[in-house]
């Protein structure tokens, strides 16, 4: 699928992925998305896929996306977490609802552009919210992988003169 139906996020990893820790990383991704109620999760070679959500309640993270895939990719001498989501049902559902609203407005003598405004509101707002939320998912999982493999990524700031930890008091 193409943009805007399909959106991808790339996050650079500080961790080096080897055959020894690859399964540990994939299981971390599975655990993370299971906590957010993803369903139909499949783990293959270097990627994890899911289809939809186990929760149809409002605010479900994976409820408004068709499916997604997490890939571990090595390029430019770095490991990357590549996350792609597909949102075709969001556009189809919003188009159906806005067509009904537009036809209802036309039948009752209202302006024709109500359907277009309804589509832009329903689909556009949900699409932007999905982008923000899934960008956060990709960032949190990439950060978690770095923490899992590398340990603490940032050390406390030290005083350059004495080599001691700075105190705010």
Write b or e for each residue in 39-76: b if 16 or more Cβ atoms lie within 10 A of its Cβ, otherwise e.
eeeeeeeebbbbebbeeeeeebbbbbbbbbbbbbeeee
- Give the confidence band of 1 by pLDDT, cuts at 50, 70, 90: low
Q: What is the pLDDT of residues 137-149, one digit of tens each?
A: 999 999 999 999 8
Residue 69 has φ and ψ, to the nearest 5°, of -145, 135
Q: What is the pLDDT of residues 75-132, one digit of tens each?
A: 999 999 999 999 998 888 888 888 888 888 888 888 878 888 888 888 888 899 999 9
Count Cβ atoms below 10 Å from residue 13 Cβ, excluding itself: 21
Residue 8 has φ and ψ, to the nearest 5°, of -125, 155
What pLDDT, on the 0 to 100 scale, is given for residue 89? 87
pTM of the full structure: 0.78
DSSP per position, 41-88 = -EEETTEEEEESBS--STT-TTTT-SEEEEEEEEETTEEEEEEEEE-H
């Amino acid at each position: 699928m193409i943009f805007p139906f399909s959106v991808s996020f790339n996050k650079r990893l500080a961790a080096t992925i080897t055959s020894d820790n690859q399964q540990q990383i994939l299981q971390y991704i599975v655990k993370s998305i299971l906590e957010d109620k993803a369903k139909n999760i499949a783990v293959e070679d270097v990627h994890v896929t899911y289809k939809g959500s186990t929760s149809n309640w409002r605010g479900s993270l994976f409820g408004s996306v068709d499916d997604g895939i997490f890939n571990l990719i090595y390029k430019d001498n770095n490991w990357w977490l590549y996350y792609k989501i597909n949102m075709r049902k969001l556009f189809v559902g919003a188009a159906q609802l806005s067509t009904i609203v537009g036809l209802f407005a036309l039948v009752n003598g209202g302006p024709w552009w109500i359907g277009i405004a309804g589509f832009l509101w329903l689909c556009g707002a949900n699409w932007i919210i999905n982008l923000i939320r899934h960008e956060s998912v990709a960032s949190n999982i990439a950060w978690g992988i770095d923490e899992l493999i590398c340990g603490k990524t940032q050390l406390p700031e030290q005083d350059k003169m004495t080599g001691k930890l700075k105190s705010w008091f």
